[in-house]
Structure 1
Amino acid sequence: MSTIRITKQFSFETGHALYGYDGKCKNVHGHSYKLSVTVIGTPITDTDNVKYGMVIDFGDLKNIVKQHIVDVFDHATVFNKNTPHVELANELRERGHDVILVDYQPTSENMVIDFAEKIKRHLPPSIQLHSLRLQETETSYAEWYQSDN
């Protein structure tokens, strides 16, 4: 049976600030992120299985990514918890804003690494995460490939 890659795309809005950065991104700002999730596996060959012919049901992949990435990060603001941005984060939370504190500088590069770890933990054993592409702007994106890691 052939090995097949399938990809599902997602969109979400997230704010962030890069502490210590020497450009405009040190300011709180946001992006309309586009996330492409590619998994790899072989189509199910059991004709009695309702998922016959699928590597993974696109709906099942959607549920994993939506629950662990999109629903968490959409319309939230991400800050590195090891910076003075924690004070701003606490004030925003007190005012009812969704804030995520992470262990890393919230660049696209680090976010895509975080997303890969979160998604891998929830995939069925027969499915492997192949790659992620996190597009921050129309012309800028970060990619993560399992083969590189």
Structure 2
Amino acid sequence: MSIIRVTKKFHFEMAHALFQYDGLCRNIHGHTYNLEITLLGEIRNEPGHPKDGMVIDFGNLKQLVKKHIVNKFDHSLVVNSLFPAEHIEAFKKATERLIVLDFQPTSENMVVYFAKILQQVLPSNVSLFSIRLYETATSYAEWFASDNE
């Protein structure tokens, strides 16, 4: 029995504004996010089974992450619910894809949020090992299951 980690990479475009931030990121701006999802599981050992030799079919992982994260956040404006109601209304008029969250949409908070989403939808034979979210080419936040037990 071998425990293996498998990783799939994704990317999406997302805009955000940080409520009451003391720098330029208080303004609406966007990033090309790169997302890495790493799962942990046993290699299937069922000769003749179409998924023999796999921890998870990368196609299945792709479908899950795209459905629950990428398709939702790609080309969206994400803001904190603490913005005044008139700002939220203005954001709604400016975009069809507004996501209002109960937290500051930093990379750090987004990896925690993504982990909660994925832990609810992953097949039972794998577990979420880590998430890495690049906000820029040189800056990223990471979430590890072992740090959050």
Q: Same fold (TM over 0.5)?
A: yes
Q: Which residue of 1 aligns with 2:110?
A: 111
Question: Following TM superposition, by how much is the alpha carbon of 1:142 offset from its aligned partner in structure 2, in angstroms?
Answer: 0.1
The answer to which structure has the higher strand fraction is 2
Q: Deviations over 1:35-89 (max 9, x none)?
A: 00000001111224211110000000000100000000000000011222x4333
Q: Which residue of 2 aligns with 1:98?
A: 97
Q: Which residue of 1 aligns with 2:11?
A: 11
Q: CA RMSD in A?
A: 1.1
* Deviation beyond 3 Å, 4+ runs, structure 1: none
Question: Following TM superposition, by how much is the alpha carbon of 1:120 offset from its aligned partner in structure 2, in angstroms?
Answer: 1.1
Give 3-state SS (helix, strand or coil) of 1:121's partner. helix
AA aligned to 1:125 is S
Structure 1 residue ranges without an equivalent (≥5): none
Instruction: Provide TM-score, normalisation by structure 1.
Output: 0.95
Moved more, 29-38 or 96-105: 96-105
Q: How many residues of Structure 1 are paired with residues of Structure 2 in the alignment?
A: 148
Q: Deviations over 1:96-119 (max 9, x none)?
A: 521001110000000010001111
C-alpha distance in structure 1 between counterparts of 2:123 and 2:45, whole Å: 16
Q: Which residue of 2 aligns with 1:127?
A: 126
C-alpha distance in structure 2 between counterparts of 1:114 and 1:87, whole Å: 26
Structure 2 residue ranges without an equivalent (≥5): none
Q: For 1:1-149, what aligned pairs fall within 5 Å after superposition?
A: 1-84=1-84, 86-149=85-148
